[in-house]
Amino acid sequence: MAGQRVEVDGGIMEGGGQILRVSTALSCLLGLPLRVQKIRAGRSTPGLRPQHLSGLEMIRDLCDGQLEGAEIGSTEIMFTPEKIKGGVHTADTKTAGSVCLLMQVSMPCVLFAASPSELRLKGGTNAEMAPQIDYTAMVFKPIVEKFGFQFNCDIKMRGYYPKGGGEVIVRMSPVRQLNPINLTDRGSVTKIYGRAFVAGVLPFKVAKDMAAAAVRCIRKEIRDLYVNIQPVQEPKDQAFGNGNGIIIIAETSTGCLFAGSSLGKRGVNADKVGIEAAEMLLANLRHGGAVDEYLQDQLIIFMALACGVSRIKTGPVTLHTQTAIHFAEQLAKAKFSVKKSEDEDDASKDTYIIECQGIGMTNPYL
């Protein structure tokens, strides 16, 4: 099984945790021994951080693999995967490290396990520099399930920066193969909804102000749709620590989903948080793509593994997406092409079609 080690340069392109997530997940799935060097080389705190470490350890445990060099601050790891097994797996960042990023690295792997899995992920559910759990549940989930699998995402406890303390349980059954997807027809926006939350000591008025400011901002551009953003006070027993934020989702006639989100920080007024999320959503609706900028890179690994040709229409291709494509080509030998959309409607916009000939990965245990 263990052939030549695949060498990955962790310092190129996105140059951060994402390279680690994509390359270790593919290594695990394909049974490729891996060495990653120059991990987060260009970052202000180079090397592995606690959240990267917990992701690596989780992948190791998922497949009874061997992991060398995995400690905080390390810039080089060696990983030797074995068989992927189902069952209960726990990962705890011990910080506000994102549970959504832990899910990103582990989900493709357990799809090709021998039996159903339960992933217990602990850390931040609504954290900076990562998708919020609401995005994962409301946008990522319904779209990624188009590849032909279902998962259940149970938010036990919400956790915020800097304490973390959140917990999410993900349950899923393995599949034999993934179906390709075609997300190229955006349709027209039919509804806009969302939630503005406060947790801990923050007053409920903050949630109402975020929601109201976001609605006002969206109304300036989209006048004919009712915008339903619910202000929410997270129950004490379901949130650890203090936090506030907002996520707004636009749904289209063809089932496409787009989002804008923002988290409150100390000293930033509530209106500003609401407006930031609204402007992000509006920007994602302007480019004519069928997926938003955060979904782009999360779909690449599934497209690479699927059986057949997948196509997604996007706005400007992000560095994260380019990075995911690079490693999916290097490690999985999937074939991608990125071309400017030739649709007349897209002529004036920065719109692209990402096409992938998937490798047709089959589950050896089913």
Summarised one tens digit per residue, pLDDT across range 170-183 is 999 999 999 999 99
Query: Residue range 114-120: average pLDDT?
Result: 98
Is the CATH number 3.40.309.10 carried by domain 189-286? Answer: no
Say whether pLDDT at 352 is over 70: yes
Catalytic residue of the set 52, 89, 320, 326: 320
Query: Residue range 274-290: average pLDDT?
Result: 96
Query: Residue range 22-51: average pLDDT?
Result: 96
Q: Kindly list the distances between the CA atom of residue 143 and the CA atoms of 67, 185, 195, 218, in Å, as whole numbers in the listed order.
A: 32, 14, 20, 24
Q: Which residues are annotated as a binding site?
A: 104, 294-298
Looking at residue 133, what is its pLDDT? 98
Spatial distance between the Cα atoms of 198 and 204, rounded to a whole number of angstroms: 6
User: Domain locations in the chain?
Assistant: 6-183+291-359, 189-286
pLDDT, tens digit, 9 for 90 and up, residues 57-73: 999 999 999 999 999 99
Q: Which residues are annotated as a binding site for ATP?
A: 104, 294-298
Say whether pLDDT at 2 is over 80: no
* Percentage with pLDDT > 70 across the chain: 99
Q: Dihedral through CA 201, CA 205, CA 210, CA 215, nearest 10? A: 150
Spatial distance between the Cα atoms of 316 and 200, rounded to a whole number of angstroms: 38
Say whether pLDDT at 1 is over 80: no
* Percentage with pLDDT > 90 across the chain: 95
Active site annotation includes 287: no
Fold classification of 6-183+291-359 (topology level): UDP-n-acetylglucosamine1-carboxyvinyl-transferase; Chain (3.65.10)
Looking at residue 361, what is its pLDDT? 98
Q: Kindly list the distances between the CA atom of residue 109 and the CA atoms of 26, 96, 97, 214, 296, in Å, as whole numbers in the listed order.
A: 8, 23, 20, 38, 19
**What amino acid is encoded at 257 in this protein?**
L
Looking at residue 263, what is its pLDDT? 98
Contacts (Cβ under 8 Å, ≥6 apart) of 229:
193, 194, 195, 196, 211, 214, 215, 246, 248
Whether the CA torsion 146, 147, 152, 156 is positive or negative: it is negative
pLDDT, tens digit, 9 for 90 and up, residues 285-319: 999 899 999 999 999 999 999 999 999 999 999 99
To the question of pTM greater than 0.95 for the whole model, the response is yes
Looking at residue 3, what is its pLDDT? 65
